[in-house]
């Protein structure tokens, strides 16, 4: 039985959700996709670093790995390759029950947004695989902003699209970077435990 997620005790006018590792238990599948895509360029990517960089846009990750390892992987095509390897595994994807519970409970009462460091294709693929796509009024993905988390930009865009002031938004996030971004946006947040913490 999963643990219930404790929310701050007040009424919020919108919920903003990170996608990977928050709504969908996709981080292990993303890691497999990264390993395969990067192996084609003999680029290492330690699992610990992958989780530490959770929430960073795909392009940023590839650029940083290029710098770290003195490589010149083509950022766009590696990103596309990684995305397609992720899509091949969508049939294995599962939702994170303690978050979906809150989506089901509040859907139709307040608006929801997804705020992700992944590209739109990847987010739509994940949410569609679990029949959750139609629950969100808007998706803010890597293509929609310049500064990724921990910058507040993506969360502020979501609040603006939903027409809700940042102080009335509650953010669901699984990474430290995501929580920092929510705090920087002036929003309350709740941290979703990572798979390793759920045992």
CATH 1.10.3470 fits 27-90, yes or no: no
CATH 1.10.150 range(s) for the chain read 27-90
Q: For 116-152, what is each residue's pLDDT tens digit?
A: 999 899 999 999 999 999 999 999 999 999 999 899 9
Q: Looking at domain 14-25+94-197, does it have CATH number 3.40.50.1370? A: no
Catalytic one of 18, 20, 153, 174: 18
- pLDDT tens track for 7-41: 998 999 999 999 999 999 999 999 999 999 999 99
pLDDT, residue 195, reads: 66
Instruction: Report the range of poorest mean pLDDT among 53-57, 100-104, 134-138, 172-176.
Output: 53-57
Annotated catalytic, 11? no
- pLDDT, tens digit (0-9, with 9 covering 90-100), for 48-66: 999 888 888 889 999 999 9
Q: Tell me the CA distances in angstroms from 141 to 95, 119, 159, one per residue in order.
A: 19, 5, 14
| C-alpha radius of gyration, the chain, whole number | 16
Q: Residue 123's pLDDT is what?
A: 96
Token output for 78: 């590696």
CB 169 within 8 A of CB 14: yes
Q: The pTM is what?
A: 0.90
In the chain, CATH 3.40.50.1000 covers 14-25+94-197
**Dihedral pair phi/psi, residue 128, rounded to 5°:** -65, -40
């Amino acid at each position: 039985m999963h643990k219930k997620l404790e929310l701050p005790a007040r009424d919020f006018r919108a919920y903003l959700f990170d996608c990977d590792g928050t709504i969908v238990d996709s981080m292990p599948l993303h890691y497999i996709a990264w390993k395969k895509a990067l192996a084609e360029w003999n680029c290492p990517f330690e699992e610990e670093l992958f989780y530490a960089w959770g929430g960073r846009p795909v392009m940023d990750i590839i650029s940083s790995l290029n710098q770290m390892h003195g490589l010149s992987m083509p950022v766009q095509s590696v990103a596309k390759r990684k995305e397609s390897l992720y899509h091949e595994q969508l049939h294995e994807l599962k939702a994170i029950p303690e978050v979906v519970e809150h989506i089901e409970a509040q859907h139709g009462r307040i608006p929801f947004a997804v705020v992700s460091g992944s590209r739109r294709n990847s987010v739509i693929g994940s949410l569609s695989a679990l029949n959750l796509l139609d629950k969100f009024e808007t998706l803010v993905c890597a293509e929609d902003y310049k500064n990724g988390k921990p910058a507040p930009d993506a969360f502020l865009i979501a609040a603006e699209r939903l027409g809700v002031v940042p102080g009335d938004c509650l953010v669901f996030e699984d990474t430290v970077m995501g929580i920092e971004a929510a705090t920087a946006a002036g929003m309350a947040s709740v941290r979703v435990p990572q798979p390793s913490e759920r045992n």
